[in-house]
Amino acid sequence: MSELPDGWEMVIGLEVHVELATASKLFCGCANQFGDEPNTNICPTCLGLPGSLPVPNAQAVEFAMTLGRALNCSVEPSIFARKNYFYPDMPKDFQTTQYEEPTNVEGFVQLPDGRSIGVERAHIEEDTGKSTHLGGGGRIHDATATLVDYNRAGVPLVEIVSHPVMHDADTARAYVAELRDILLATGVSDARMEEGSMRVDANVSVRPVGNDELRTRCEVKNINSLRSLGRAINYEARRHVDLWTNGESPRQETRHWDEDGGRTTSGRSKEDADDYRYFACPDLPPLTPTAEDIAAIDAAMPGLPAARRSALAVAAGVEVAETTLTVERGLDALVIAAIEAGADATAAMKHADQNLSDGQGQLTAESFAALVAMEADGALSSTQVKTVLAELVANGGEPAAIAADMGFEAMDTSELDTLLDDIIADSPDEWARFVEGDRKVQGHFVGQIMKATQGKADGKVVNQLMTARAAQS
Amino acid sequence: MSGAISREEVAHVASLARLRLDDNELDTFTEQLCVVLDTAAKLNSLDLSEVPPMSQPCFLTNVMRPDVIVPSLNRDDVLAQAPEAENGQFRVPPAMGEAP
Amino acid sequence: MTSAFDLAALVRRGEYSAVAAADTAFGSIKERDDEIHAFLHLTKRRAQAQAAAVDQAVADGKDPGPLAGVPIAIKDNMCTKGEPTTCSSKILEGWRPPYDATVVDRLEAAGAVIVGKTNLDEFAMGSSTENSAFGPTRNPHDTSRVPGGSSGGSAAAVGADFVPLSLGSDTGGSIRQPAALCGVVGLKPSYGAVSRYGLIAFASSLDQIGPFAHNVTDAALCFDVISGHDPKDATSIPTPLTPTLPTLNDGVAGMRIGIIDELMGEGIDDDVIARTNQAAEALTAAGASVERVSIPATIYGLAAYYLIAPAEASSNLARFDGVRYGQRVDGANVAAMNVATRSAGFGDEVKRRIMLGTYALSSGYYDAYYGKAQRVRTLIASEFATAYESFDLLMSPTSPSTAFELGAKSDPMALYMCDVCTIPSNLAGHPAMSVPFGVGDDGLPVGVQILAPMVEEARMFRAAKTLEDAAKGMS
């Protein structure tokens, strides 16, 4: 079910709502806290009591601008607007959001494979309360009553709207995954889909390949994981294709993703739902960030995944796509520093990818570089390197000392050189044959060296030394 | 009646505002709203193309508060005022369908 | 009755007790409020506790504040914690807010004693207090007539000498017009001068809270107490305001005052025009130069107001849906419950304005109605700004007529016309106040309106005081 029939392509736009990690809510001082007893974090403002007024949270605004800049958006003067509709989880029966003048416009998300997905806007808005439907198996349509908890009402959100430029479920998932990494890097949200601090709605339509029209789209909600996102998109796109192929068209509506049933179902009908009668909220003055404000945010921006991938690619001399795993693991800074300290790039990245799957731990760039050098010099065998590396991660320390403690003496190349001199002196005939190209006698020298060093010499290094020495003879 | 707003439009607007009008009310309100909207039509004679809209008579910007937690209301006090409550939550008849 | 200023002085000196003042207030209310119906609820326990606290403070040698012991009435659209707050609507019948409005905090911190909540047109929508769901209020000067609206109860409470001070709210004239009709002083401050936190919103960009008083001095005293920045109101003016009391008697010598031409002709009763001209003469005699000024956009004020105010109201009143507080009428599902609750709970004028406002904002009509009205607003504000380049103050009648009879104006448009002189300053945000100045041909009070630029209340009060002094010498 993951591919559409020939000749059709899907068009996906994603709306991602992100809860900001502020201490208090967007317009009042109630705690922004998940999981507390219902209705214990409410006040006149977030409950929308008559006479209450909103005052914006400065940290939420700063987080929103940071998020915008992290998505390469332009940060603009903005106005809060009221979106008017009735629903019990809405304390004021209007939501304070941003409409014609949002905080952030026109940015992009760069995927690990290098593609750019356009972001139309990222605006600030308040979250609603949470309704629970009683009776009817918890499903909306058969409920006998609804209970409402307003703890979440007023929590600050940023809604990130992509352009409808994705054409398959994997791209959509990669976009969300990258978005999540960006959010975590900036610290503006903990972005947990399963906990609801990052919610993804997918706008899905289809069209004949080669066409650039935009046909009727449906908004799919209730997607709670990356896996569900892929499944929901594929299901819905297929549903559309089937309808069009049968001469029908999908109805423009909101669909609900049913994870257990593996399908989307029709949500509320949209008869009068669409006229939100947006107007500028008269209780809230405009936000007008200055160039200095934005410069300060840019200056404080931590390393973002795309930039980190580029930096590592340059430092290591590899393609951006090869850096994904290292950056995902958060090991890029380590690898770059190790390279700067003299480590071989390929070796450092290989170790990061293969031997540091649990992270850096206590390992420092200096000791990492030293270890990689020891490996390059043949001072340690590959197995020994892995062991020392594990120890450095677990407990820190210094590779030469650890190797010594473990009895893996750090064998200096010059020591091996001297040893080789002695053995050549002892076996001049064998050496002469080796110089002439007889590789069979190689084992004699390697064996002698291993005996002399009690197995600590690295076979590869010995071979290199012998080859180099032979070339000089 | 000038027809600035039709009976159907009044009915539509009433339903958007979650109000129910009977036939008499619909007639009366339609008539009254037409009169008010006719007065509003006075504004049509003005050339306002160069005049920006004004949402607030104040020229403040960037009014914000620090991200500090302030004690919340006591839940029991609030729920005591609710028409219906259950398990610490507000209880209402079933909400049909998902929120927009 | 003793002025608030004098009463507070007596209480602070220990020469009169706050408890006695409160008792006197309750006594006069009991005697005559059955007839007037200024009050919806009395807050006896709260008043007695507060009065006792004030007297104790005096006994302890502490300063109880500039309004010590002064009984004060609050319009029932402002939140008083634990006390009924209904906005004169069935939909909020029984609701007791869990918090106090900022103005209530400030009054009580200044030693004032809140004695009760006053009647209003439902949700502050009206010009006669006849739209109250709990019965109208009557004008103390002639109980067959309206006190004006929407703050009719607060105006009548002062007019009937129940209390020396009361608070009202003004969105299109709802303090000034009833002040004129009841023969008392009423002030609409600069937008943002007084916190709206705790004022149940009608039209957020137009609403302001202000005082009613018997005299200009008391109004100044009250304004100085309740005004000033509030961090809980994002539209509140952040910079300190000039106190009005200290310069009250500085007079108007050298001031340039403009009488608004467009508000001195058609639609205004002759006797009201005559009194306004007399007021202009009084100001001239006191050393001001008064001349006519034309502010053409004022004639569009009514049309713009009756699009902007209902639009904001339609959004502000959406929260009254039977879910969290107030009355609920049940339904099969929550939408049906919303409809049943709102249809039963709101009166006709409220429904009318909600529908008008919803329409003005709706898809396809926004630009023609709300959008256009917002631009007219800019026009009005800029014409006023231009006028204030040549004039220090402006003046006009407050109300087109004296108090009319209950039931006389049943047509909504006729009632809307009551606000033609007051609406422009709500749209522009400038302060304006009504000062009693003589009576009309029918012997009923006439009010004259003084208007000032933003945050120039102190200047406005000087002219008001001059008029008040002049009015004392009038027949």
In a domain, B65, yes or no: no
Which chain C residues are Cβ-neighbours of B55 within 8 angstroms? 205, 374
In a domain, A1, yes or no: no
State which residue of chain A sits closest to B57, comparing Cα positions: A282
Total number of domains constituting chain B = 1
Q: Residue B95: which of A31, A59, A87 has the nearest Cβ?
A: A87
State which residue of chain A sits closest to C123, comparing Cα positions: A50
Instruction: State the average pLDDT over residues C274-292.
Output: 98
The Cα of B87 is separated from the nearest Cα of chain A by a number of Å equal to 8
Residues A397 and A349 in one domain: yes
Please name the residue that has the structure tokens 């049933």.
A261
- Of the candidates A125, A132, A190, the residue with the CA atom closest to the CA atom of residue A154: A125
State which residue of chain A sits closest to C322, comparing Cα positions: A88
In a 10 Å sphere around its CB, with 0-12 CB exposed, 13-18 middle and 19+ buried, how is residue A341 labelled?
middle
Which residues between 408 and 467 in chain A have a beta carbon less than 8 angstroms from any beta carbon of chain C? none
Give the least confident one: A27-41, B39-53, C70-84, C91-105. Answer: B39-53
Question: Which amino acid, residue A366?
Answer: E
The Cα of B81 is separated from the nearest Cα of chain C by a number of Å equal to 6
| Residue of B58, B65, B67, B87 to mutate, testing the A interface (most A Cβ within 10 Å of its Cβ) | B67
Instruction: State the average pLDDT over residues C271-279.
Output: 98
Residues A136 and A44 in one domain: yes
Which residues between 128 and 157 in chain A have a beta carbon less than 8 angstroms from any beta carbon of chain C? 146, 148
B66–A47 C-beta distance less than 8 A: no
State which residue of chain C sits closest to A143, comparing Cα positions: C333
Question: Which amino acid, residue B16?
Answer: L
A285–B89 C-beta distance less than 8 A: no
Give the least confident one: A354-358, C82-86, C351-355. Answer: A354-358
C232–A55 C-beta distance less than 8 A: yes
- Of the candidates C69, C390, C433, the residue with the CA atom closest to the CA atom of residue C244: C433
A146–B100 C-beta distance less than 8 A: no
- ipTM for the complex? 0.97
Which chain A residues are Cβ-neighbours of C233 within 8 angstroms? 53, 55
What residues contact C367, with CB distance under 8 A and at least 6 apart? none
Nearest-angstrom CA–CA distance, C280 and C393: 12
B32–C98 C-beta distance less than 8 A: no
Total number of domains constituting chain A = 3
The Cα of B34 is separated from the nearest Cα of chain C by a number of Å equal to 10
C96–B81 C-beta distance less than 8 A: yes
Neighbours of A (≥3 Cβ pairs closer than 8 A)?
B, C
H helices of A259-398, in order, are: 291-300, 305-316, 324-328, 332-340, 345-355, 365-377, 382-395
Neighbours of C (≥3 Cβ pairs closer than 8 A)?
A, B
The Cα of C299 is separated from the nearest Cα of chain A by a number of Å equal to 24
> Which structural domain range is residue B25 located in?
7-42
- The first and second tokens of residue C410, run together, are 């049943």
B32–C336 C-beta distance less than 8 A: no
Quick: pLDDT tens for C423-437: 999 999 999 999 999
Other CB atoms within 10 A of residue A287 CB: 24
- Of the candidates C338, C375, B100, C346, the residue with the CA atom closest to the CA atom of residue A83: B100
Which chain B residues are Cβ-neighbours of C323 within 8 angstroms? 82-83, 90, 92
- Of the candidates C106, C100, C3, C121, the residue with the CA atom closest to the CA atom of residue C43: C100
CB distance C205 to B57 below 8 Å: yes
Size of interface A-C (CB pairs under 8 A): 95
Q: What is the pLDDT of residue A273?
A: 55
Residue among C89, C127, C128, C150 flagged as catalytic:
C150
The Cα of B31 is separated from the nearest Cα of chain A by a number of Å equal to 23
In a domain, A3, yes or no: no
Residues A62 and A190 in one domain: yes
CB distance C169 to C186 below 8 Å: no
Q: What is the pLDDT of residue A140?
A: 60
Q: Active-site residue C236, yes or no?
A: no
Q: Facing residues of C449 across strands?
A: C396, C434
Which chain B residues are Cβ-neighbours of C339 within 8 angstroms? 18-20
Residues A205 and A184 in one domain: yes
Q: Which segments in chain A show pLDDT lower than 70?
A: 1-2, 137-141, 268-273, 409-413, 456
Question: CA dist A166 to A110, A163, A208, C48, Å?
Answer: 13, 8, 15, 69
Neighbours of B (≥3 Cβ pairs closer than 8 A)?
A, C
Instruction: State the average pLDDT over residues C392-408.
Output: 97
- The first and second tokens of residue B9, run together, are 């439009």
Is the Cβ of A82 closer than 8 Å to some Cβ of chain C? yes
CB distance C244 to C457 below 8 Å: yes
Is pLDDT at C341 greater than 70 in this prediction?
A: yes
Please name the residue that has the structure tokens 């409409």.
A99
Is the Cβ of B12 closer than 8 Å to some Cβ of chain A? yes
Helix (H) / strand (E) element for A232: namely helix A226-245
Is pLDDT at B31 greater than 70 in this prediction?
A: yes
The Cα of C367 is separated from the nearest Cα of chain B by a number of Å equal to 11
Sheet with B89-92, edge to edge strand ranges: A130-134, A145-149, B89-92, B85-86
| Residue of C123, C314, C361 to mutate, testing the A interface (most A Cβ within 10 Å of its Cβ) | C361
C303-C308-C309 Cα angle (round to 5): 100
State which residue of chain A sits closest to B91, comparing Cα positions: A147
Residues A401 and A425 in one domain: no
B29–C352 C-beta distance less than 8 A: yes
B96–C335 C-beta distance less than 8 A: yes
In a domain, B58, yes or no: no
Which chain B residues are Cβ-neighbours of A148 within 8 angstroms? 89-92
C307–B40 C-beta distance less than 8 A: yes
CB distance C183 to C159 below 8 Å: yes
Percent of residues, chain C, with pLDDT higher than 70:
100
- The first and second tokens of residue A45, run together, are 């403002």
CB distance C200 to A51 below 8 Å: yes
Quick: pLDDT tens for A288-338: 999 999 999 999 999 999 999 999 999 999 988 889 888 888 899 899 999
CA C344 to chain centre: 28
In a domain, A281, yes or no: yes
Q: Residue C95: which of B51, B77, B81 has the nearest Cβ?
A: B81
- The first and second tokens of residue A355, run together, are 């031997």
Which chain C residues are Cβ-neighbours of B46 within 8 angstroms? 300, 372, 376, 379
Nearest-angstrom CA–CA distance, C257 and C391: 5
- CATH 3.30.390.30 matches C4-226: no
Q: What is the pLDDT of residue B97?
A: 61
Q: What is the pLDDT of residue C465?
A: 98
Residue among C127, C166, C174, C190 flagged as catalytic:
C174
In a domain, B59, yes or no: no
State which residue of chain C sits closest to B30, comparing Cα positions: C352
The Cα of C333 is separated from the nearest Cα of chain B by a number of Å equal to 5
| Residue of C197, C356, C370, C386 to mutate, testing the B interface (most B Cβ within 10 Å of its Cβ) | C356
| Residue of B9, B15, B58, B65 to mutate, testing the A interface (most A Cβ within 10 Å of its Cβ) | B65
Is pLDDT at B1 greater than 50 in this prediction?
A: no
The CATH number covering residue B19 comes to: 1.10.20
Residues A398 and A429 in one domain: no
Quick: pLDDT tens for A127-152: 999 999 888 765 666 789 999 999 99
Q: DSSP assignment, residue B83?
A: S
How far does chain A reach from its first CA to its final CA, in angstroms?
67
SS3 A266: strand
Instruction: State the average pLDDT over residues B62-85.
Output: 97
With b for 16 or more beta-carbon neighbours within 10 A and e for fewer, the C111-135 pattern comes to: bbbbbbbbbbbbbbbbbbbbbbbbe
Question: CA dist A88 to A279, B100, C137, C329, Å?
Answer: 21, 12, 36, 15
Question: What phi and psi values does residue A362 have, to the nearest 5 degrees?
Answer: -90, 0
Q: Domain locations in chain C?
A: 4-226
Q: Active-site residue C150, yes or no?
A: yes
The 3-class SS string of chain C reads CCCHHHHHHHHHCCCCCHHHHHHHHHHHHHHHHHHHCCEEEECHHHHHHHHHHHHHHHHCCCCCCCCCCCEEEEECCECCCCCCCCCCCHHHCCCCCCCCCHHHHHHHHCCCEEEEEECCCHHHCCCCCCCCCCCCCCECCECCECCCCCCHHHHHHHHCCCCCEEEEEECCCCCHHHHHHHCCEEEECCCCCECCCCECCCCCCCCEEEEEECCHHHHHHHHHHHECCCCCCCCCCCCCCCCCCCCCCCCCCCCEEEEEHHHCCCCCCHHHHHHHHHHHHHHHHCCCEEEEECCHHHHHHHHHHHHHHHHHHHHHHHHCCCCCCCCCCCCCCHHHHHHHHHHHHCCHHHHHHHHHHHHHHCCCCCHHHHHHHHHHHHHHHHHHHHHHHHCCEEEEECCCCCCCECCCCCCHHHHHHHHCCCHHHHHHCCCEEEEEEEECCCCCEEEEEEECCCCCHHHHHHHHHHHHHHHHCCC
Q: Active-site residue C343, yes or no?
A: no
Nearest-angstrom CA–CA distance, A448 and C190: 99
Contacting A with CB below 8 Å, chain C residues are: 78-79, 85, 87, 92, 95, 97-99, 101, 196-201, 203-205, 231-235, 311-312, 314-315, 318-321, 323-325, 334-335, 338, 358, 361-363, 366, 370
* Residue that terminates a domain, selected from A276, A298, A320: A298
State which residue of chain C sits closest to B63, comparing Cα positions: C234
> Which structural domain range is residue A355 located in?
303-405
Write down the pTM of the prediction.
0.90
A148–C321 C-beta distance less than 8 A: no
Quick: pLDDT tens for C110-139: 999 999 999 999 999 999 999 999 999 999
